Structure 1
Amino acid sequence: MSEPATSRSTLIAAALIFAGMLLGGYFLPDIVNFVAQFSPWLAVGVGILFVLAVFFVFWLRARYQRRHER
């Protein structure tokens, strides 16, 4: 009986993560170009932080699922 609630929660989380990645990826070039006016190294750092943030979100989601699986 808890299967539909779990599936719904998973779908909502996946949709939010995907929307965040899509929105971040859409604005990332503009942000990097703006930051590159001040420092190209800082612009590289912004790009790296975006990629790491994607993995960080997936890591947090997996950790949450493991804790609430019991």
Structure 2
Amino acid sequence: MDRSTRNAAVAAAIILLGFGVIGFYMPAIVLWLGGLSPYAGGAAAALFVLAFFGVFWLRGRSQRRKGE
């Protein structure tokens, strides 16, 4: 494993760990926001899912630019 693949693996592990911790508390966050407004709870859940894929999409774009 060379340096660039190790850095990519470490970055992916940190991102997954961060989203795992947030995902663990997500039901409580959605229920709390849902008590304020059902739309706020739904928006929080949607933003969480979009952010998960968005982070990896942005990382892929960044890696592609470095290769050019």
| TM-score (normalised: structure 1) | 0.89
* Sequence identity (%): 40
Is the helix fraction higher in 1 or 2?
A: 2
Distance 2:66 2:10 in 1: 16
Gaps (5+ residues) in structure 1? Answer: none
Gaps (5+ residues) in structure 2? Answer: none
When the two chains are superposed, the root-mean-square deviation of aligned CA atoms in Å is 1.1
Moved over 3 A (4+): none
Relative contact order, higher structure (CA 8 A, sep 6+): 1
Deviations 1:39-59 (A, max 9, x none): 011100100000000111011
Aligned match of 2:6:
8
| TM-score (normalised: structure 2) | 0.91
Structure 1 counterpart of 2:44, from 43, 46, 49? 46
